[in-house]
Structure 1
Amino acid sequence: MEDRYIDKNGKKLRYGYTTGSCAAAASKAAVQMLSTGRKTDEVHIDTPFGWTIGIDVHPVEVNDCESSCYVTKDSGDDPDITNGMELYAKAEWCQDGTNEDMIVVETGKGIGKVTKKGLSVEPGNPAINPVPMKMIREEVKKVLPQGRGVKVTLWIPKGEELSRKTFNPRLGIVGGISIIGTTGIVEPMSEEALKESYAIEINMQVKEGNRTIILTPGNYGLDYTRKNNLDEKRAVRTSNFIGYMLDKSLEYGVENILFVGHAGKMTKIAAGVYQTHSKYGDGRLETIASYAGICGYGSEVLEKILDSTTTDEAISHIEDKRFEIYEMICERAAEKCRARVFGDVNVETLIFTNEYGFLGKSKNADKLIKELEIGQD
């Protein structure tokens, strides 16, 4: 990744790769060494991002029965507590004939276990998200001899220590860190450079004559916009910088904003949280519980909401009144956004989740939705 850079407002920042890519590379190398009997110092893996990347490998042991190695996490110029972390993989042949052509993935020290519902991995399983698990299996399959079965064991010596500096314990992930990453690539996020690059997009929209725009925290919102016939060309990502982007919208002369976002972040906005990164604050569960109480739910349901791991899990406890509750949350989020810009920019909101789809919109959102539909003036 030494030659992979992104330019953000004149700053040259180097890309890195995720823990998922580390796990895939270490697994592939271990199986390759077991198959060939030879050490390897580099493997290439394909990432969901679309890049094929080379990752350095440090062999530990190679013999007829097993092989092991480790890779070192490289986060590029992105601040990340896992940068420099060593992830190990050991490969062993499956002796049971029923395991031919099978790939068994197990974990050891330093990789967390999931203990609560609501995450993408079921309780009781290792904290390896679906995309990294798919990457591991696909890369191992490329070097696994036909008709053989292999068991790959992954571990991270300092994983449990590092996990204490993450939000994993709060999510019910115990004993280590998660193997994550939806693209396999870490895009460097110099916060100031990133904020400035997003703000430039707002300015460009206004200069092109678009004073009614869509703001959305990230890719989920962009996908929803695209799938629901809204003009993606008028959409600007905010990431976690909600307050900053509202400020810039006011500064650059935006007149109307349709804020489209996943419930996870948008519920925070309804609680008055304008920087939605988890380290700055939350309030999602408390907000949902507050409106559930207004709608007549009793203490038993409210306790379940407050004990939820994710927003989707909380919503599962209010299914019969979720539209009613989220109409109120949408209106509250819109009011908080308007307050941030002193009422000088009209802001309406629309909230969804990937699991439940559309949840609600603020009272006057339909007018902006109509204006922003593809084919409308």
Structure 2
Amino acid sequence: MTENTPLRRGWTTGTCAAAATRAAFQALVTGAFPDPVEVALPGGQRPAFALALAERGDGVAQAGVVKDAGDDPDVTHGALVVATVRPGAVGTGIMFRAGEGVGTVTRPGLPLAVGEPAINPVPREMIRAAIAEVCAATAAAGDVIVEISVPNGEALARKTLNPRLGILGGLSILGTTGIVVPFSCAAWIHSIHRGIDVARAAGLDHIAGATGSTSEAAVAALDGLPELALIDMGDFVGGMLKYVRAHPVLRVTIAGGFAKMTKLSQGLLDLHSRAGEVDLAHLARLAAEAGAPAALVADIPAANSALDVLQRAQGHGIDIAAVVAARAVATAAAVLRGTTVGVDVAVFDRAGGLLARTPVVRS
């Protein structure tokens, strides 16, 4: 792929599940599988999918679609999403079941009730619409049991936040538009939101968003936080704070390494390298603010990295991490201005040692 080649979009697990359901239900009703099978997306698009699985039995039909996530680094890329459809009792409508590799909700705070299969609301609506289209074309009854499965889904789910969210046994069937936009990391943002929902439903008033596993373990030990309070924020500090603004808790801590918190201190709310690099000139100004000698300040713009700057400052007894933390918490507090949410920042070294901690700011 060349640098200027547009990234290829893909399809959500919800889209694949809806397409597989339509194919299976149509085969159950008519005896023939549509291949390829069309499905309607929430935005009105009608993509078509080849079937990777098509089997019929006595009172049952099964179809499968392989998920293509496009150029997005999605854990479910290449997974087979299978719909198994059976007639339901008259008047029961559409009933959803979790098959192999699809999780079950075990904690409150998610958009599905405890005990429900982890097939999210928009994919459910897409599945209902797919079944309704077949019913309209064939005059079939819409009483049907839809079981969605993802072979190997339980192993794949261990690479996601599902276990922490209380979604056990497999993956969630996700999607709001039906389309995967490369590097939008929509699934990660979704997990952040659901993690906050679960923490609030559990009555927690203090949550911590961490940029990585080291800072997460460090802030959990520092503040004695339970696992439910820990939000795997990654680079998406803005996504977390904006959701907290609309779904408030008493206090949110932002925990991360020196380089990531430097980016936050620069005013960046997406800490990924694609959104911006560490500004060494900015660090030079902060070093001067912290009382660094002029020679050190002059050398910082030519430093190799943020870590190099930190080590140089420490060598001169300059607490640059404290100034970074103070600027970072100001960036975060600006997002939460006008709310009752308090925010603080903890900066850790690569071994999880605390470099700096701000007071809680309420703006």
- TM-score, L = length of structure 1: 0.54
SS at structure 2 position matched to 1:104 = strand
Q: Does the CA-based 8 Å contact 1:29-1:69 persist in structure 2?
A: yes
Inter-partner Cα distance in structure 2 for 1:62 and 1:155: 16
Name the amino acid aligned to 2:91: T
From 120, 134, 140, the counterpart of 2:111: 120
Inter-partner Cα distance in structure 2 for 1:42 and 1:27: 13
* Residue 72 (structure 1) shift: 0.6
SS at structure 2 position matched to 1:11 = coil
Check 1:52–1:127 CA distance in 2 against 1; reply closer, same or farther (3 A cut).
Answer: same
* Residue 22 (structure 1) shift: 0.9
Structure with a larger share of its residues in strand: 1
Name the amino acid aligned to 2:97: E
Q: 1:150 and 2:144 equivalent? A: yes
Q: 1:20 and 2:14 equivalent? A: yes
- Aligned residue pairs total 254
Q: Does the CA-based 8 Å contact 1:25-1:139 persist in structure 2?
A: yes
Q: Does the CA-based 8 Å contact 1:351-1:360 persist in structure 2?
A: no
Inter-partner Cα distance in structure 1 for 2:182 and 2:100: 29
From 223, 243, 264, the counterpart of 1:337: 264
* Residue 17 (structure 1) shift: 0.5
Inter-partner Cα distance in structure 2 for 1:283 and 1:52: 45
Q: 1:159 and 2:153 equivalent? A: yes
Name the amino acid aligned to 1:338: S
Residues 34-73 of structure 1: matches in 2 within 5 Å?
34-62=28-56, 65-73=59-67
Deviations 1:129-178 (A, max 9, x none): 22222222222221123544111111122111222232322322221111
SS at structure 2 position matched to 1:89 = strand
Q: Which residue of 2 aligns with 1:86?
A: 80
Name the amino acid aligned to 2:48: G
Inter-partner Cα distance in structure 2 for 1:15 and 1:64: 38
* Residue 117 (structure 1) shift: 2.7
Q: Does the CA-based 8 Å contact 2:208-2:230 persist in structure 1?
A: no
SS at structure 1 position matched to 2:283 = coil
Q: Does the CA-based 8 Å contact 1:30-1:89 persist in structure 2?
A: yes
- TM-score, L = length of structure 2: 0.56
From 173, 178, 182, the counterpart of 2:176: 182
Deviations 1:186-235 (A, max 9, x none): 112299xxxxxxxxxxxxxxxxxxxxxxxxx989xxxxxxxxxxxxxxxx
Identity %: 34
Q: 1:171 and 2:112 equivalent? A: no
Deviations 1:302-357 (A, max 9, x none): 76x65447689xx8xx98x82xx46x97xxx999833774385976443459xx97
5+ residue gaps in structure 1?
Answer: 1-6, 192-216, 220-265, 291-301, 367-377
Q: Does the CA-based 8 Å contact 1:118-1:309 persist in structure 2?
A: no
* Residue 279 (structure 1) shift: 6.6
Q: Does the CA-based 8 Å contact 1:44-1:52 persist in structure 2?
A: yes
Name the amino acid aligned to 2:63: C
Q: Which residue of 1 aligns with 2:99?
A: 108
5+ residue gaps in structure 2?
Answer: 191-206, 232-239, 255-259, 267-277, 287-326, 345-359
Residues 261-276 of structure 1: matches in 2 within 5 Å?
268=209, 276=211
